[in-house]
Structure 1
Amino acid sequence: MADKAEASTNTTKPPVPLHPVFTVTDIMKQVRILDGINVTYSAWVKLFKLYARGYEVIVHINTEPPPEDDPTYARWIKIDAVMLQWIYSTLSEDYLLRVLEEPSTTLQAWNWVKDLFHNNKGPVV
């Protein structure tokens, strides 16, 4: 009887499954370095979005993080840090130095990279 009582009061939460983003060991094998010459911005965006969708993190490049008091905030920030690493590790040194900011979110870094390329376009003739 004591065993049944202990079992009913000893409730533990099941472990949270590992998010697919944490299984990526080297994003540079999938998304090449954006240098603006060998790899263009549009090609980089297409590859990056493809992998972001596949690893279930596309929301991080188009959505602000939840509020800090949201129960999902801690997990969001961890995943966002991995996404920032993906962005930073796939930028050439020149672009990285222009984008690297602290603190930053994936959305902010994504927009800074986009602005680098959209603001540098000359008029269409």
Structure 2
Amino acid sequence: MVGEVVQTEASGSQSGKPELHPVYSVNNILHKIRMLDGVKITYSSWVKLFTLNAKGYKVSNHIDGTPPPADTDPKYAEWCEIDAHVLQWIYGSISEDLLIRILETDSTAYEAWTRLKNHFHNNKEARAAALEHEFTNLSLSKCGSMDDYCQKLKDLATQLTDVGSSVTDQRLVLQMVRGLPASYDTVGAYINQLLPAFETARSMLQLEEHRRSARSEDTTAAALAAPAVAPTQQLRLDRRFKWVRKFGTE
């Protein structure tokens, strides 16, 4: 019994030590969150990753509008220090262009979070119109490869969703086919008929591109492997051809 009490007290003294907050274990936020640029990494994707990490490292209350403790509260100093770390997360995971827009002196993490949100949510109509024009006019000929073309379409669709103009998977597939050149009419018609999921349609186009590339390589190899005609033999053939054309018989 006495041993149990001593053991409990010892455990209590160890657990009584203040534990280091999980936020201090993050040395580089970019190891957890991709850099927000609004193009390759969209705002909605960045928010999902950021809030996931904020929850995991127990700092969600610094970006969800939870009021901070009063400045007379003993925990206020610690709150300010943790908030500064979260603010560094925000500033350190956005592009320079965005940083210039939201950077302010003496800002809390929530204030910076709100400024960034407002930047992407303001002027939705104008941004949606510009993105819609780019989306409907994108074609394979304007991109470096099939992969690049499909990814740009996907990125534009995500950006349109961010400004309240959602693009359905079906429309994304139809637009992808619409931007293909005439040489893809056969596979394009097949995709239009099936209307598969975007990733499935994307794989179908990639397979078609690989098939064309392989056929082109085979044709080139066959041409290189064909025996060359010697100049003297070619001259004889040319003379024989002229003779046949003139007299109609050899």
- Fold in common (TM above 0.5): yes
What corresponds to 1:5 in structure 2?
none
Deviation at 1:102, TM superposition (A): 0.8
Q: TM-score, normalised by structure 1?
A: 0.85
Q: Which runs of 5+ in 2 are unaligned?
A: 1-15, 129-163, 166-250
Higher RCO structure, 1 or 2 (CA under 8 Å, sep 6+)? 1
- Residue 120, structure 1, aligned to residue 110, structure 2: no
Map Cα deviations across residues 74-106 of structure 1 (whole Å, 9 max, x no partner). Answer: 010000000000000001000001111110001
Given that residues 65 and 76 in structure 1 are in contact (C-alpha distance below 8 angstroms), is that contact kept between their aligned partners in structure 2? yes
Map Cα deviations across residues 31-58 of structure 1 (whole Å, 9 max, x no partner). Answer: 1111000100000000000000000001
Most deviating of 28-37 and 60-69:
60-69
What corresponds to 1:67 in structure 2?
70
Deviation at 1:64, TM superposition (A): 2.9
Q: Which runs of 5+ in 1 are unaligned?
A: 1-13
- Residue 86, structure 1, aligned to residue 89, structure 2: yes
Structure with more helix by fraction? 2
Given that residues 64 and 107 in structure 1 are in contact (C-alpha distance below 8 angstroms), is that contact kept between their aligned partners in structure 2? no
What corresponds to 1:111 in structure 2?
114
C-alpha RMSD over aligned residues: 1.4
Residue in structure 1 matching 2:42, options 25, 40, 43 = 40
- For 1:35, give the aligned amino acid: D
- For 1:18, give the aligned amino acid: L
Moved segments of 4+, more than 4 Å? none
Provide the rounded CA distance (Å) in 2 between the counterparts of 1:41 and 1:119.
13
Given that residues 20 and 55 in structure 1 are in contact (C-alpha distance below 8 angstroms), is that contact kept between their aligned partners in structure 2? yes
Provide the rounded CA distance (Å) in 1 between the counterparts of 2:124 and 2:28.
31
Residue in structure 2 matching 1:100, options 99, 103, 111 = 103
Provide the rounded CA distance (Å) in 1 between the counterparts of 2:77 and 2:17.
15
Q: Report how many residues are paired.
A: 112
Provide the rounded CA distance (Å) in 1 between the counterparts of 2:32 and 2:123.
26
% identical aligned pairs: 52
Residue in structure 2 matching 1:25, options 24, 27, 39 = 27
Provide the rounded CA distance (Å) in 2 between the counterparts of 1:48 and 1:109.
13
